[in-house]
Amino acid sequence: MIRRTTILMILAALGLMAGTASAFFENAPVSARQRAMGESGAAVMDGAWSVFLNPAQLAETDGGRAGVSYVQPFGLDFADRVTMAVGLPFDSRYGRFGVGWSHFNVSHQDTTLLKENRFTFAHGLTLFEDMHSKVSFGWSGNVYSVDAGLSQGEIDPGSDAAFSFDAGLLLTVHRRTRIGVLVNNLTGPRIGEDREELPRRLITAIAYEPYAGVVTTFEFRNELDRDVQYRGGVEANVLDDFFLRAGIVTDPNRVSAGFGYGRQGFTLNYGFSTGGGTLDSTHQFGLSFDWGGEAQ
């Protein structure tokens, strides 16, 4: 079984930790678009990334969606994260489904010090719909896996796994206003020999499209034993296939920006955010592909 103190020492020694961050599975943006829009996404439709952002969004996602993202947090060359998601192109009265995978790796001189994997299966369905509004519900099951490499003294910290559920709601009014609610790690999973509880979060968000091609969003994030975090962003379709994005985040204070360029179902995304304190900026890249439905 993996010891939390061992990993804390590894991450602290590498300078990866900041503020009051916990050891495992930090709340990092899964897509470059999310990062560019102030790291908010619970109420913003984002294709396959709905698997992670709010599974209730899957109920309003038609066709097939796929995406991949890559980032080196704070520009650190010894740590990287790869995230993939697929919104399955199956439509039934029982809703829509999606799967996702996120892999975080810390290595030094060809030695792997830490690996985190998250596997997610998500489902979203419509609860109510009329001419003016729509209410959707979604849930996801997550498998978290942590594996630490051998220390310099050939000590094996071990590995461990945990399982949890997320639950989300999405209210859509006149296709211009969306209210999203997401509860992360609803079941309070614990991992490691020290039984560290993975972060539980309540996320409430609103997204508004004042007119075609413009999306604004604001989000509240409540996490146990931490101050409320506020996130907000905007996206503007300045040309037919080109989008500009910007956002802000509090606690710690950061600003973000980025762009997206889409063509024939493919979209290339880039997101940038400042480090928030002494850490360097982060640059995130992503590629998505939509088929068989209306582009998002």
Residue type, 283: H
Q: Residue 267 and residue 291: Cα distance in Å, rounded?
A: 12
Q: Is the peptide bond before 252 cis (omega within 30 degrees of 0)?
A: yes
Res 107: pLDDT: 85
Scanning the chain, the segments in alpha helix (DSSP H) are: 4-14, 32-36, 50-53
Q: Residue 74 and residue 280: Cα distance in Å, rounded?
A: 5
CA-wise closest residue to 66 among 92, 88, 82: 88
Mean pLDDT, each 10-residue run in order, the chain (296 residues): 51 46 72 96 94 95 93 91 92 88 87 89 94 94 86 66 95 93 92 82 95 94 87 95 96 94 95 87 96 70
CB-CB contact of 135 with 156 (8 Å) = no
CATH fourth-level superfamily of 4-14+29-291: Outer membrane protein transport protein (OMPP1/FadL/TodX) (2.40.160.60)
- Report the b/e string of 242-255 with b at 16+ CB within 10 A: ebebbbbbebeebe
Q: Quote the Cα angle for 225-230-236, to 5°.
A: 150
Distances (CA, A) of 240 to 21, 65, 250: 40, 21, 32
pTM: 0.88
CA-wise closest residue to 214 among 75, 44, 68, 80: 44
| 3-state secondary structure (DSSP) of residue 200 | coil
CA-wise closest residue to 89 among 296, 293, 243, 295: 293
The residue length of the chain stands at 296
Who contacts 259 (Cβ-Cβ below 8 Å, separation ≥6)?
36, 242, 243, 244, 245, 269, 270
Q: Residue 36 and residue 276: Cα distance in Å, rounded?
A: 15
Res 45: pLDDT: 93
CA-wise closest residue to 36 among 262, 243, 264: 243
CB-CB contact of 18 with 277 (8 Å) = yes
Domain layout of the chain by residue ranges: 4-14+29-291
CA-wise closest residue to 145 among 134, 136, 158, 156: 158
Res 295: pLDDT: 59
Q: Residue 234 and residue 98: Cα distance in Å, rounded?
A: 26
What DSSP assignment string belongs to 223-287? ETTS--EEEEEEEEEEETTEEEEEEEETTTTEEEEEEEEEETTEEEEEEEE--SSSSPPEEEEEE
Q: Residue 66 and residue 47: Cα distance in Å, rounded?
A: 7
Res 195: pLDDT: 81
